[in-house]
């Protein structure tokens, strides 16, 4: 795949801040992993509990050593935020004083759904930020017969455009050479916003430092949303943020339609294979049945596969405790070390196999594209009890550990639905209860086969988990009646095509989740 450069490339700098931004399911995190390898650090953005993935990587490009500081911004559909994740991404891009504000922004677009991705790209272009449009998943687009004229698209947008496949690392070298050079600001804007916000732009530029039209309009939207006095000033000149956003969106999609018609050779459609599967997996009856069968298969696997490593860990710590008790002199300190610290560590580490296995299966379902379908089919049911389609993932994750599950609720934009999800997630049967379930089931339930396939013990285990699930559902319904909110929410999700999971992403997810359990929850458990 060739690189298309719409701006001249000059000398490199010693260090460059690079931000990756894109829609959810566009392959942004996969590209981040391909660019950074294992040099990543995970923390939180200042002041918010939103994951911050960064990496400093030194690369030798065209004979020069360059330090890249990469930031993987949370997925967002627009620069008008609807959730804490989108708010963080918007602030990093729009506030020059932000410590993570980039020198170059890599806009990751799904080549199989270019129309959706160009909306966000157009907003970043209008912010006059030096940026590169990366058309990811080009291999799947080409297989589907979807052709994109990258040269023409680059000329129409006024920014560099490059086609890659982050999963196979095709085009990564060309991208690195491109961002190592001098990526200039876009040659021209995406749309002319003065016709819809001229008075607001004038008002902002009178009281703030001089901005480009879209930068001023974007600031007006933010002040309208966050500052009551400014909201009154803007309304006094006839500015309504929702109405202007709607008009702006119509303008953007009109321009996007022109670009799509001029630069693509076929309509991007979901593959026939994905379409056929969706008729079954998102069916209003069979969709739920298949999901329950998959959960049963996951529980049956966890019930048996985690048993052996858990026994090894328990016996290993027991042997270590005996050895230390026999080798160390008797006393309070030895008792504290043997019966306190080692026993505490054993009580934490012993759950790692179950947590790793459960997140392994969840990562497989997410990376294959199935988990998006689960959120889709469950949304209608969840809304009846005050939850959100995205609540499904935290609830399932809560079966492993409530700590990372509660952290994942930040992608739910509506505060009421997010709060209810946080409150009911601990009702799910987490891995800490699994040994108790296992012991009781082993004592009470006989080892017999039901239907020639399933173990009765596995069915009993699933019943225990379903009991926790339905208890959480009932509690959510009660909370939805108690907690009142006027805010409305919409569930918009692009269903990605089905694909083979990328194993490096799966195992990195397991590593991150296990690390959160060991070092965040584990420290508290050991201390107690």
| Closest to 300 (Cα-Cα) out of 443, 403, 447, 432 | 447
What percent of the chain has a predicted confidence (pLDDT) above 70? 87
**Is residue 71 scored above 80 in pLDDT?**
yes
End-to-end CA distance of the chain: 56
The whole-number average pLDDT for the span 47-51 is 60
| Cα 6–Cα 158–Cα 199 angle in degrees, nearest 5 | 155
pLDDT digits (tens, 9 = 90+) for 436-490: 777 688 778 887 887 777 778 878 877 887 888 888 888 988 888 888 766 555 5
What Rg do the C-alpha atoms of the chain give, in angstroms?
Answer: 26
Q: What is the model's pLDDT at position 2?
A: 40
| Closest to 190 (Cα-Cα) out of 134, 117, 239 | 117
Structure tokens at 376: 């889709």
Instruction: Give the least confident one: 147-156, 270-279, 399-408.
Output: 270-279
- Range among 46-55, 121-130, 205-214, 517-526 with highest mean pLDDT value: 121-130
CA distance 259 to 118: 9
Q: What is the model's pLDDT at position 118?
A: 94
3-state SS record for 317-384: HHHHHHHHHHHCCCCHHHHHHHHHHHHHHHHHHCCHHHHHHHHHHHHHHHHHCHHHHHHHHHHHHHHC
* Reported confidence tier of residue 322, pLDDT bands at 50, 70, 90: confident
CA distance 137 to 324: 55
* Reported confidence tier of residue 106, pLDDT bands at 50, 70, 90: very high
* Reported confidence tier of residue 268, pLDDT bands at 50, 70, 90: very low
Q: Tell me which of 34 and 39 has the higher pLDDT.
A: 34
Structure tokens at 167: 């999963």
């Amino acid at each position: 795949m060739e690189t298309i450069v719409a701006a001249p490339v000059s000398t490199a700098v010693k260090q460059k801040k690079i931000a990756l931004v894109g829609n959810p399911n566009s392959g942004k995190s996969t590209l981040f992993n391909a660019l950074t390898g294992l040099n990543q650090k995970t923390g939180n953005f200042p002041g918010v509990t939103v994951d911050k993935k960064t990496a400093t990587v030194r690369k030798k490009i065209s004979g020069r050593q360059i330090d890249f500081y990469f930031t993987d911004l949370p997925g967002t559909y627009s620069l008008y935020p609807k959730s804490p994740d989108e708010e963080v991404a918007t602030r990093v891009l729009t506030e020059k004083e932000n410590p993570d504000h980039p020198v170059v922004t890599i806009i990751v677009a799904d080549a199989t759904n270019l129309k959706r991705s160009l909306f966000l790209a157009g907003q970043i272009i209008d912010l006059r930020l030096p940026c590169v449009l990366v058309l990811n998943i080009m291999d799947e687009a080409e297989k589907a017969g979807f052709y994109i004229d990258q040269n023409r698209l680059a000329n129409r947008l006024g920014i560099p455009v490059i086609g890659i496949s982050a999963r196979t690392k095709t085009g990564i070298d060309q991208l690195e050479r491109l961002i190592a050079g001098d990526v200039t600001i876009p040659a021209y804007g995406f749309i002319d916003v003065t016709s819809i916000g001229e008075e607001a732009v004038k008002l902002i530029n009178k009281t703030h430092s001089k901005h480009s039209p879209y930068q001023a309009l974007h600031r007006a939207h933010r002040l309208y949303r966050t500052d009551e006095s400014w909201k009154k000033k803007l309304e006094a000149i006839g500015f309504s943020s929702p109405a202007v956003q709607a008009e702006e969106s119509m303008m953007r999609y009109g321009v996007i339609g022109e670009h799509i018609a001029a630069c693509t050779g076929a309509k991007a459609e979901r593959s026939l294979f994905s379409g056929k599967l969706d008729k079954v997996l998102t069916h209003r009856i069979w969709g739920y049945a298949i999901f329950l069968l998959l959960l049963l298969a996951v529980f049956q696997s966890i019930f048996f596969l985690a048993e052996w490593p858990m026994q090894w860990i328990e016996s290993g710590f027991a042997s270590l405790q005996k050895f230390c008790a026999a080798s160390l002199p008797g006393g309070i300190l030895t008792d504290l070390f043997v019966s306190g610290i080692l026993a505490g560590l054993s009580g934490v580490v012993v759950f790692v196999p179950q947590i790793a296995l459960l997140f392994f299966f969840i990562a497989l379902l997410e990376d294959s594209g199935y988990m998006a379908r689960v959120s889709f089919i469950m949304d209608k049911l969840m809304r009846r009890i005050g939850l959100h389609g995205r609540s499904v993932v935290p609830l399932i994750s809560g079966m492993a550990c409530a700590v990372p599950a509660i952290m994942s609720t930040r992608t739910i934009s509506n505060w009421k639905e997010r709060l209810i999800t946080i409150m009911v997630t601990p009702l799910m049967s987490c891995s800490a209860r699994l040994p108790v379930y296992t012991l009781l089931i082993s004592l009470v339930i006989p080892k017999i086969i039901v239907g020639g396939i399933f173990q009765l013990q596995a069915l009993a285990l699933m019943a225990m988990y379903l009991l926790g699930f339905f208890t959480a559902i009932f509690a959510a319904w009660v909370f939805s009646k108690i907690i009142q909110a006027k805010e409305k929410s919409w569930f918009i999700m692009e269903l990605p095509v089905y694909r083979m999971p990328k194993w490096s992403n799966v195992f990195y997810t397991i590593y991150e989740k296990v690390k959160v359990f060991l070092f965040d929850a584990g420290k508290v458990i050991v201390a107690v």
